[in-house]
Amino acid sequence: MEKEQVLEKLRSIKYPGFNRDIVSFGMVKDISIQASDITLELNISSQNEEKKKLVVESIKNELGSDFTSVKIVLKNEGMKSPPTQKSPHPVPILENVKHVIAIASGKGGVGKSTIAANLACALSRQGKKIGLLDLDIYGPSLPILLGLNEQPKMTQDNKLIPLDKFGMKVMSFGFISGNDTPVIWRGPLVSRMTEQFFRDVDWGELDILLLDLPPGTGDIQLTLTQKLRMTGAVIVTTPQDIALADVRKGADMFRKVKTPVLGVVENMSGLALNGKVNPTDSLIEINGKIVPVDSDGVFNLKLDLFKVGGGEQESKRLGVPLLGQIPFSEKVMLSTDEGIPITMEENIDEIGQVYIDIATQIISTIE
């Protein structure tokens, strides 16, 4: 067995109490193979003898079937990145970015990326220097949402230059990998790519960098809280209980790592209907509801497709504002497919105005 094959096996061994493996922590200092004997030199700075014993046993179990003798030499030379819990307020690595705001949800399919794109455009319209980073490595959405099909260029010092769209700086893993290519990566590789999006992208000066997070509370969220000092998080939910249950987990995670929750956005909050009838009718009945009609015969109606009040319920539990309720709308769907967020249209309609109001509240809160 070659050294690289040994390292690959060792990458399956997590340091006790952490999601990172002993190889990515830099604990494996030397590997010596002679016939069917192997000697490993490990550098573990922890004084916890029980954890050291667990690591040694895990290595012997992993390599025992491949080698007759597995010898492990433990050293304690100190580590550049010792396996200790990181401070919830690390030194910022984005010195020229005033505010970093995460758009998060506990589950997928709640429209988080659509909200992130529209909020970014709404903030940009209000004169802010905006960056938008799509951190959903497994399912990047921004290339479609913003109609971008380009690859970023590099600076002379090998930093990626974000794409420019609607006056914003935009970066997504989809720009690099191609939106049709599946990503089959383990957690440590995803965490490393996440950090590179901060260190190896030339963001320049920004008022706000919005992070479109993947759903859940996994490796990317943990990397963020360890590496960045975030201004806060906006939690996206839909009204029904199954979404709220997952949203609570995500919201509580941010609070545990000392990241403020700025507010809750309830998406898919009913179905917005409008149409035109005979202007002589001042009232019409739709689905059992009496709906007023204006002098031009135009009516507007909102039908509740799910449970009502889920976003408000969660905002009260967290003690934060309900920033807005965004209904289902064919216009939102069409704008998403066209790659032009509705907040970039010249004439903002009622739903676009909801995004504008949410952006205004966010600015008010952080400033």
Residue-wise pLDDT tens digits, 254-304: 777 778 888 889 888 777 676 676 766 677 666 666 777 777 777 676 667
Rounded distance between C-alpha atoms, residue 140 and residue 214, angstroms: 9
Does residue 91 lie in a domain region?
A: no
**pLDDT class for 87, splitting at 50, 70, 90?**
very low
- Final residue of a structural domain among 75, 108, 139: 75
Does residue 85 lie in a domain region?
A: no
Rounded distance between C-alpha atoms, residue 168 and residue 345, angstroms: 15
Map residue 266 onto helix, strand or coil: strand
Rounded distance between C-alpha atoms, residue 220 and residue 200, angstroms: 16
pLDDT digit string (tens) for 161-198?
Answer: 889 999 999 988 777 665 555 444 454 565 676 677 77
Same domain, 288 and 200: yes
Same domain, 18 and 150: no
State mean pLDDT over 53-64: 89
**Neighbouring C-beta atoms of residue 49, cutoff 10 Å:** 8
Rounded distance between C-alpha atoms, residue 132 and residue 119, angstroms: 10
Total domain count, the chain? 2
Torsion 160-89-129-236 (CA) sign:
positive
Domain that holds residue 265: 97-366
Same domain, 66 and 111: no
Same domain, 71 and 125: no
Same domain, 198 and 257: yes
Cα angle, residue 151 at apex, residues 189 and 99 outer, rounded to 5°: 65
- Which CATH number characterizes residue 200's domain? 3.40.50.300
Does residue 84 lie in a domain region?
A: no
In the DSSP assignment, the letter for residue 14 is: B
Same domain, 64 and 202: no
pLDDT at position 239 is 80
- Which CATH number characterizes residue 17's domain? 3.30.300.130
State mean pLDDT over 71-76: 85
Same domain, 337 and 256: yes
Does residue 340 lie in a domain region?
A: yes
Q: Where are the beta strands (DSSP E) in 76-191?
A: 97-104, 130-134, 163-165, 168-172
Query: Percent of the chain at pLDDT above 90?
Result: 13
Does residue 81 lie in a domain region?
A: no
Residue type, 41: E
pLDDT at position 171 is 87
pLDDT at position 117 is 93
Rounded distance between C-alpha atoms, residue 367 and residue 364, angstroms: 5
Do the beta carbons of residue 19 and residue 219 sit within 8 Å?
yes
Same domain, 10 and 150: no
Same domain, 306 and 221: yes
Does residue 88 lie in a domain region?
A: no
Does residue 86 lie in a domain region?
A: no
pLDDT at position 82 is 43
Closest Cα to residue 328, out of 305, 299, 298, 300?
305
Closest Cα to residue 204, out of 92, 98, 362, 90?
98
The single residue listed with the structure tokens 């096996």 is 9
Query: Percent of the chain at pLDDT above 70?
Result: 77
Same domain, 163 and 251: yes
Residues 6+ positions from 227 with CB-CB distance below 8 Å: 90, 93, 194, 195, 198
Same domain, 211 and 331: yes
Same domain, 108 and 62: no
Per mean pLDDT, which of 149-163, 224-238, 283-297 is the most reliable?
Answer: 149-163
Rounded distance between C-alpha atoms, residue 123 and residue 362, angstroms: 9
Does residue 7 lie in a domain region?
A: yes
